[in-house]
Amino acid sequence: MKLIFLRHGETEATEKRLYCGQSDIELSEAGKRALLPENRKFEYPAIEGFRVITSGMKRTEQTLRLIYGDLPHEQCPEFKEIDFGAFELRNYDELKKDPAYLEWIKDAYNNICPGGESRAQVVKRVTEKLDEVILGGRDTLIVAHGGVIPDSMEYLFHEGRNLYEWMPDPGTGYIVYLDVNKDGYKALSYEKIG
């Protein structure tokens, strides 16, 4: 089985280095241009016959459409980015003196953003849905987010990389090869896209 992860294209939030999770923002103009066929620096994998999934957020919907056209697909909110709560659409410089932020970053994996989620909660919802998708046994494309993809890759490969080492650039991702059978599945290998 092939599983393709693609991160959505550039947004104004990624360009400004803002925490952007549940805010349903669109791709920036630069982000849209970069995904157009005439501007691409590499070819995207063919997905004929694939199950196609997005998180349902505007930026993933636009990315799918710009790369592959208007395809029938599913929207799975389990693949949405972390909810940064009170830190949403703010950057480090704005937050670096905020006591709640300083407490959160001490252990951003387990600590819950005020009004939002912890990364541990995101990993749980993402990996439960990922298991379900993989055990379906069908080649699948998932267009998701900069936190969701690294969490998924670490779950599948346990290489000890941190979130940022796994994080693909906007508009890029991974092809994962899996062995799926009646007893479960095993992630075999992966290659980068872009």
pLDDT, tens only, 76-133: 999 999 999 999 999 999 999 999 999 999 999 999 999 999 999 999 999 999 999 9
Please determine, for residue 163, whether its predicted confidence score (pLDDT) is greater than 90.
Answer: no
Neighbours of 187 (CB within 10 A): 18
What does the pLDDT read at residue 160?
87
What is the reported pTM?
0.95
Averaged over 36-56, what is the pLDDT?
Answer: 96
Which residues fall within 8 angstroms of residue 65, CB to CB, at 6 or more apart? none
CA distances 42 to 64, 89, 173, Å, are 16, 30, 12
Averaged over 156-182, what is the pLDDT?
Answer: 94
Regarding predicted confidence, which is higher, 35 or 159? 35
